[in-house]
Amino acid sequence: MQIEPTSKLVMIGDSVTDCGRAQPVGEGLFDALGRGYVANVDSLLGAVYPGHGIRIVNQGTSGNTVRDLKARWQRDVLDLKPDWVSVMIGINDVWRQFDSPRQKELHVPLDEYERTLDGLVQATLPAVHRMVLMTPFYIEPNRDDAMRAQMDRYGGAVRRLAERHGTLLVDTQAAFDEVLKSCYPAALAWDRVHPNQTGHMVLARAFLQAVGFAW
């Protein structure tokens, strides 16, 4: 597995990452890591690699866009001095274009999204061992659906950045698409955005596969 023993991994994003994590720093006892894919990753690493002592911190915040990440990046990522950083952002950047179409100030255009995330990656890479970029997703199998099509464009930006900077990539949309061959979207997320426990395990599995997890 690529994550080295005693590494500190900060995982940051929006509500899908947050999942009720402790504030201001998502680390500690009970549900401090939240009840989503971050906690699943931590549990599986602890069960299968108990000797590695990998330390995970959840810094997801509900409702965030890439603009919000930029505003809190120093405090919530760099100041924690991680060895690894995982980022999954973009769902709200896209969603606000559809659920709040007249509030243009809430929309994050694709060029701004890619430029801002690019800046965060560039600022972080010199300070960490490795970064993991996770695409945003929409749990909808119809690629012609307007929001799914737009989410795919933002996911494309993440793939370009991963290739440009040599980070690891987790294609979360591809992971959900595989499961959607057998499941209706509501079986994974009531709103096609916030996964249930099965959906969060899909995310955790995709992340762990990307870092070389092996049973």
Digit-coded pLDDT (tens) for 134-181: 999 999 999 999 999 999 999 999 999 999 999 999 999 999 999 999
Which domains are assigned to the chain? 8-210 (3.40.50.1110)
- Tell me what pLDDT residue 192 has: 97
Active site residue 52: no
- Tell me what pLDDT residue 20 has: 98
- Tell me what pLDDT residue 170 has: 98
- Tell me what pLDDT residue 204 has: 98
Catalytic residue among 31, 79, 99, 191: 191
Through-space distance between the first and last CA atoms of the chain, rounded to whole angstroms: 10
Separation CA 91–CA 160 (nearest Å): 17
Task: Report the chain (215 residues): mean pLDDT per 10 consecutive residues.
Answer: 97 98 96 98 98 98 98 98 98 97 96 98 98 98 98 98 98 98 97 98 98 96
Is-cis flag, bond preceding 5, omega within 30?
no
Catalytic residue among 7, 14, 194, 200: 194
Size (the chain), residues: 215
Active site residue 15: yes
- Tell me what pLDDT residue 75 has: 98
The 10 Å CB-count burial string (b at 16+, else e) for 17-28 is bbbbbbeebbbe
Are residues 92 and 63 in contact, defined by beta-carbon separation less than 8 angstroms?
A: yes
- Tell me what pLDDT residue 18 has: 98
- Tell me what pLDDT residue 118 has: 98
Catalytic residue among 14, 15, 107, 200: 15
Sheet with 84-88, strands from edge to edge, namely 55-58, 8-13, 84-88, 130-134, 168-170
- Tell me what pLDDT residue 164 has: 97
- Tell me what pLDDT residue 22 has: 98
Active site residue 182: no
Separation CA 55–CA 10 (nearest Å): 8
